[in-house]
Amino acid sequence: MKMGLCAIAVLLSWASIAYAADPNPLQDFCVALPDNKSDVFVNGKFCKDPNLVVAEDFLFQGLNIPGNTSNQLGSAVTAVNVNQLPGLNTLGVSLARLDFAPYGLNPPTPTLRNKLFTKYLKAGDVFVFPQGLIHFQINVGKTNAVAFAGFGSQNPGVITIANAVFGSDPKINPDVLAKAFQVEKNIIDYLQAQFWPNN
């Protein structure tokens, strides 16, 4: 009897591992509304009445148009998340187009670990940024470049290290930053005085 119970327990634990996945959505779709005039609230957005949903709710046009890279970073990000494409609500995906001028940079974003994976990409290559690891992109070529990104969230946040540290409002105490970065306070003062674009 004990042997049978152990076998059942092992089978049940294997079954729970084999079937582990994201739960299915409660409904097939929940087209997001920009206001709160709906009674159904899912994933931070109110749902449009399903009887009023149209094909345009699932369409975004414009990823074929290059972004303006005439800025101090030499890059532009065209985001397509639930705010631009209401049909993404509850689907758990979004995407972006990244345009780079020669030597343009999409600056580093925060990391949970101090590990850097770096790779030169060529046309048609795909590279995955593990969630939580620092990542950035720079065009090392002499011509414009474009990249496309996919995200596992309908509305992923963006925090760049430089903006968060040196462009915060209110400013982080320069003495704290000088000690953290092990540099003179005048360097921090200089960095905090720069214009930090809100990417």
Of 105, 95, 108, give the one whose Cα is nearest residue 153. 95
Tokens describing residue 17: 């591992």
DSSP string, 70-135: -STTSEEEEEESTTT-GGGTTT--EEEEEEE-TT-EEEEE--SSS--------TT------TTS-E
Q: Report in angstroms the alpha-carbon separations of 197 from 64, 73, 76, 81, 161.
A: 24, 9, 11, 20, 12
The DSSP element (H or E) to which 16 belongs, if any, is helix 2-18
Residue 81: name the closest of 131, 136, 156, 135 by CA: 156
The answer to whether the annotation marks 36 as part of a ligand binding site is no
Give the Cα separation of 28 and 134 in Å (integer): 34
199 labelled ligand-binding: no
Cβ–Cβ under 8 Å, residues 172 and 196: no
Binding residues for oxalate, by number, are: 106
Binding residues, by number, are: 106, 135
Binding residues for Mn(2+), by number, are: 135
